[in-house]
Structure formats: structure tokens, C-alpha cells
Chains A and B, each alone.
Chain A
Amino acid sequence: MNKRLLALFSLASAVLFLGGGLALADDKSIIVQSTTSTKNSGLYDHILPQFKEQSGITVHVVAVGTGQAIKNAGNCDGDVLLVHAKPAEETFVAEGHGVARHDLMYNDFVIVGPPTDLAGIAGGTSAVESFKSVADSGALFASRGDDSGTHKKEKALWAEAGVDPSASSGQWYRETGSGMGATLNVGVGMGAYVMSDRATWIAFKNKGDFGIVVEGDEALFNQYGVILVNPEKCPNVKADLGQQFIDWLLSDEGQEAIRSYVVDGQQLFFPNGNS
């Protein structure tokens, strides 16, 4: 009996050790705290193998909302932060959590909606005007509601439109508290307008009969930044490897890798790292 238990215990410890050792043995690796939009769009699957081949460094991506990603990085649970919420990123650096912020790439947001277009905004080019129309018509609008970069951007647009959507939360304004893809699923499911980054939308496979109704407004510009987590605050940060990754992203090679990511014939991200 005791021998059996001992054997079982040794086995379990061995497996546990193996599991733990997996991360330790793979020393040439970094953790990037990033957004669901970059991950769900498939960008990392396209560029990371190229980086790995060139540098031998494995990049592990944790994809959460921008707010969560910044918080995790602030807890030192990552080496590099790659998100899209410039003011929050600048605060992050100013507070000493990050070394420096670099513009990396941009894409833009679009407003997608059902063909019925209850708010009558299809074909419009002004995000703010469209938001006003949505609020006036009372047509359903699904929001991330998760303090992500996209959500922050959306809130800024509502403010500009002079609408306080949170007053109508649960009525025409539906906050999912989820990632971009999950929110798109909700929007398509209930026939609600959604503001999405273009990359996620293009790569999204559950579009139903939804299409882009508003695009092309400068106000919908979506800038991504990349930051090395400060090794002085977080001694565990692999500053060398993290900096190598950032340098590569900003190099011609890295920028070209981003540029060359195409889905359905459309380029999803526009590098502007060395501008």
C-alpha cells in the first residue's frame, strides 16, 4: 500500500517537475503581454516564426484586453507590452513600469452592423455622427466594456458625440465585458452594431450577414505601441531578449513581416515603427 502510494507520488512529482521545467528549460523565451485583437487576427502566427528563426527566441503571447495586459505587465508578469492605448501606455512608462514606448504599427477601427441598419449609418464616414445616430435611433450597440484599448477608444468617441451610453447600459447599449471576438459573436447574434479593429473583423469567421457600415474616419485610427517592461522595477524581466524582440519589430525586416500579413487579400496592419 505504502509502496504504491510512494510510487504514485514519485510519478506525480516527476510529471509536475517536468511541467514546471518546461518553462525553465526553454530559457530563450519571453512573455509578451498583448491584446486579443493582435492575437485573434493571426498576426503573431505570421511574424513570430520569422523572429524565432532569426533569433532563436521563443515568444509566448498572453492575449488579454489592453487594460489587463498593462496591469499584468505592471505586476512584472511579462517582458514586453504590446498594446493599443497610447495615453495609458505613456502613463505606464511615466510611472517607471516601462523603459520606453515605441510606435509599432497601426490599423483602424470600423463599425460593423446588420444589413437592416436601423440607425441608418451605412456608408457614413464620420464615427462621431454615426454614434449620435445610433443613440438617437436606439438601435442595439454591443460594446467590449472591458477597459481594453478598443473600449477606451469607443468611450472617447461617445464622449465626443455627447452621448453617455452607460446611462442606457442594458437597454440599447450592451456591454459584454469580453474580448473583441466574443463581442463580435454577441453583436452578430443580437443584431447590434459593434466597433471593432479592422484586423479582427477581417479575420473573424462568424460574420453572418454583417458588414462594415462605417470606415475611413481619421478618428478611427488605431495606433499600436510596444514597450519593454522596466528591468529596474522587475528584476525577472529578460531585458536583453525583450529588447531584441522590440528591435526586430522596429527593424525593416520586422516591419516588412507585419506589412506582409494579408488575410483575404487585405493587409491588416500598417507598420509605422521607423517613421
Chain B
Amino acid sequence: MQDLGEAFSLAFGLVLAGDGDLMEIILLSLQVSLTAIAIAALLALPLGALLAVARFPGRGAILVLVNALMGLPPVVVGLVVYVFLSRAGPLGWMGLLYTPTAMIIAQVILVAPIIAALSRQVLEDLHGEYAEQFQSLCLRRHQIIGALLWDGRYSLLTVLLAGFGRAVAEVGAVIIVGGNIDHLTRVMTTAIALETSKGDLALALALGIVLLAIALTVNGLVMALRATAYRNAYA
């Protein structure tokens, strides 16, 4: 418990001092996870919308698959990405291993199924409400998907938030494909793992508190946005 008290004062100290290394790590964490979320959203939101709107043979199987992929262990994703990006692997020529890009790729794979599965649910509910009206307007499928994505935007923000939470909090994948290299691929979670292995539990906890604060801030911002949406009856 002594560690915990020390951790809090250390965390505040670090943040207040604007420690350069810490800022670099925080920024990289945000850069990697936010980029991963943006890319995953581009891939998974249309997929989720398509699954919400379309009925085709094999849809059930795809839903089961996407839902199962939500539970992918990060370390397995890390390993698979490592195998592909390693110099000895099929994509080794790209030289991406141990770069932030490799970490982004791993997180996209981790997060895309979550966004696809959750957005499918959200948009299917929304479509239930709109379906007859859209049918009456003779909208094409891409118009329907576009309208659902836009009208569901505030609910989808929460979906993206769930994805961001998973991305920014996972360590298993990024430590394998990023290598936890100082000033290059060290992010909050790998830094915490490193300090833990150094036995510096107080510093590790302090970093954990900072990570929690970041998560709280991001969530708070999104919630504030949603609250505005509610007031405007957009959500």
C-alpha cells in the first residue's frame, strides 16, 4: 500500500513536471491507438453497417466469426503480425517491424472486430426504425448505409471508444511487434511492463494512473459530445 501512495504522488509529479520522456510516451500511445482506431473505423464501420442492412447466405457465420474475433488475445495478434512483418516473413521487405506502424497494424486487427460487431448491433437497431421509410424512398444500399452511419454517429462514437479502450490498454501485441524501444516504440503499457520488470512498482503504478487519466479524459470528452447530442435530440 506504501507503493500506491508513492505512485499517486509520483504520477502527479511526473505530469506536473511535464517530463519530456513521459510526454513522448503519452503522445506515441495516443498517436498509435488513435490512428489504429481511425483505420479500424474506416474498415469496420462500413462492414458493420453492411451486416446490419444486408441479408445474404453465410451472414450468420460471419456474425459468429466477427463476434469471436472480438476476443482475440492481443499476444496472438502480436505473434501473427510479427510472423508477417519479420524480415523472414512474407512482408519483411517492408521493414515495418519495430516501428509505430507495426503497432498500428496490430491494434487495427485487435480493434476492427470490436467496432464491426458493436456497430452492427447499433446500426441494426437504428435500421429497424428507419427501414420502412428508406424502402419507401427507394434508397440504394449505399445510401442506406451512409444514412445509418451518419445518423448513428453519436452511438458509434461510444463504439469507437470501446475500441480505443482496448487499443490503448493492450500490451501483449505492441510489445512483440513494437519491441518497446525507447524513443521509438515505447508506449504507456509497454513502459508500465518495463518498470514492473525493473521492480519499480511505484513508477509503474504512476504510469498506470497517468494512463487511466488519459482514458478518463478521452471518455469524458466523448461523453460531453454525446450529452450535447442528446440535448439536440440527435442521439
Contacts and interface: CB of A to CB of B under 8 A. Distances in A.
Interface of A: 1-2, 5, 8-9, 11-12, 15-16, 19-20, 22-24, 31, 36, 39-40, 44-45, 58, 60-63, 72, 74-77, 178-182, 184-185, 188, 203-207, 234, 236
Contacts of B31: 15, 19
A74 B89 CA distance: 12
A76 B86 contact: yes
A58 B183 CA distance: 10
B144 to A, nearest CB: 12
Contact of A20 (B42, B100, B197): B100
B96 A76 contact: no
B7 to A, nearest CB: 13
B184 A22 contact: yes
Nearest to B96: A20
Contacts of A1: 146, 149-150
A36 B199 CA distance: 13
Interface residues of B, number: 38
Contact of B42 (A12, A62, A181, A205): A12
B41 to A, nearest CB: 8
B35 interface: yes
Interface stretch (B63-71, B116-124, B174-182, B217-225): B174-182
Interface in B176-208: 179-184, 194, 196-202
Contacts of B96: 20, 23
Nearest to A33: B179
A8 B42 contact: yes
A181 B198 contact: yes
B32 interface: yes
A12 B39 contact: yes
A242 to B, nearest CB: 14
Given A61-B181, A63-B180, A20 B88 contact: no
A250 to B, nearest CB: 23
Interface string B151-187: 0000000000000000000000000000111111000
B93 to A, nearest CB: 8
Given A9-B42, A62-B179, A19 B35 contact: yes
B51 interface: no
Contacts of B95: 23-24, 236
Contacts of A11: 38
